Structure 1
């Protein structure tokens, strides 16, 4: 485990249940940052064909950064729809995805099992083996692949056709594109102040 990853952990060990509870809160907070669906779907006026391949690439990168959670939800939904004919596979793979989200992607604290620290590599190895086992038992690899590919195609088409003008990731992005002016600082490091006349 790297020292950078260890630095994000809390210093007080907490139980496995608390780790899962905090990971669930992190997942919920992350999902709350999803862009509104009406903004994602936009109006017909926000859709157009980019003038060049480089413009299409830039447009897709900006939209992918701005709508990343929306795209992830679309790919997940397409994968789930592709497994409708095999409900046991849908339930089992949904549970495995939930474990990946809780135990790896949104976990901030070290995982303790029966009082022993479980390394990040052990968690990843266990999740990979569990994923392979779930795919082997249920056998929906072909349907799942088709669902993921359809979801990715939807995301790419939307990312290329959706005009990103007016979409800003944060204040720094708005400053760099000139929507808002940055505050200049004086030599002492403080913000400059111009009194009203």
Structure 2
């Protein structure tokens, strides 16, 4: 019996070069991974901005850095990406590093365990940041990288200082221990 012209009911790995199930799982992981970031409208709610007092600025920065950690990482990485547009080698290295960021930080839905030890999100963020900076510095775009990081950090700190924290709920476990010494949010 011939099967010419029939549509196969099951996909075989040899006959189907594209695995659509893998693509749909990847889309779902991207959606789930990016869902852990805070909504941008919540981050830039105009009613939640005012100048802090000197005593509450540090507390606000600490709370907002813990609450909007993933959003702030995205902002700094976007600024870094834009600064590397005129350095093709650095841009290629940055894109490779972004793939590593996606898998190890943004899209990870399970805790990271290395050699039987649980690695927190804060440690992953710090290590990936340092590795990204060091690898990019080897591409000889040092001034662009340092200026972009400085601009990104300044923007993040300004936002964290002027964004009120009254409407934010930060769980100490979700914050990765960043709020242990912080007083009441202001």
TM-score class, shorter-chain normalisation, is 0.5 to 0.7
In structure 1, runs of 5+ residues without a counterpart are 1-21, 111-117, 121-126, 178-197
Q: Does 1:46 align with 2:37?
A: no
Equivalent of residue 31 in structure 1, options 31, 34, 42: 34
Deviations 1:74-108 (A, max 9, x none): 11011111111113311222202423553x55596
Larger Rg: 1
Could you report, residue by residue, the CA deviation over 1:46-84 in whole angstroms, capped at 9, with x for unpaired residues?
2111122x3101111111111111111111011111111
Contact 2:75-2:152 at 8 Å conserved across structures: yes
Give 3-state SS (helix, strand or coil) of 2:145's partner.
Answer: helix
Equivalent in the alignment of 2:119: none
1:95 and 2:110 are equivalent in the alignment: no
In 2, the alpha carbon distance for the partners of 1:60 and 1:129 equals 24
CA 1:57–1:134: 2 relative to 1, 3 Å = closer
The answer to whether the 8 Å contact 2:33/2:109 transfers is no
> Which protein has the bigger helix share?
1
Question: In 2 relative to 1, CA 163–91 (structure 1 residues): closer, same or farther, beyond 3 Å?
Answer: same
For the 8 Å contact 1:23–1:108, the answer to whether it is kept is: no
Closer/same/farther in 2, CA of residues 157 and 33 from structure 1, 3 Å limit: same
Runs of 4+ in 1 over 6 A off after TM superposition: 22-27, 107-110, 127-131
Contact 2:52 2:161 in 1 (8 A): yes
User: Over aligned residues, Cα RMSD in angstroms?
Assistant: 4.0
Superposed CA deviations along residues 15-63 of structure 1, whole A, max 9, x for unmatched, are xxxxxxx9997776332211111111111x32111122x3101111111
Q: The residue matched to 2:36 in structure 1 has which SS?
A: coil
Contact 2:38 2:70 in 1 (8 A): yes
For 1:109-135, what per-residue CA distance to the aligned partner results, in whole angstroms no more than 9, with x for missing partners?
99xxxxxxx979xxxxxx999975664
Secondary structure at 1:34's aligned position in 2? coil
**1:160 counterpart residue number:** 161
Out of 29-38 and 139-148, give the one that drifted further. Answer: 29-38
Alignment of 1:67-106 (within 5 A): 67-99=68-100, 102=103, 106=108
TM-score, length basis structure 2: 0.58
* Per-residue deviation, 1:163: 0.8
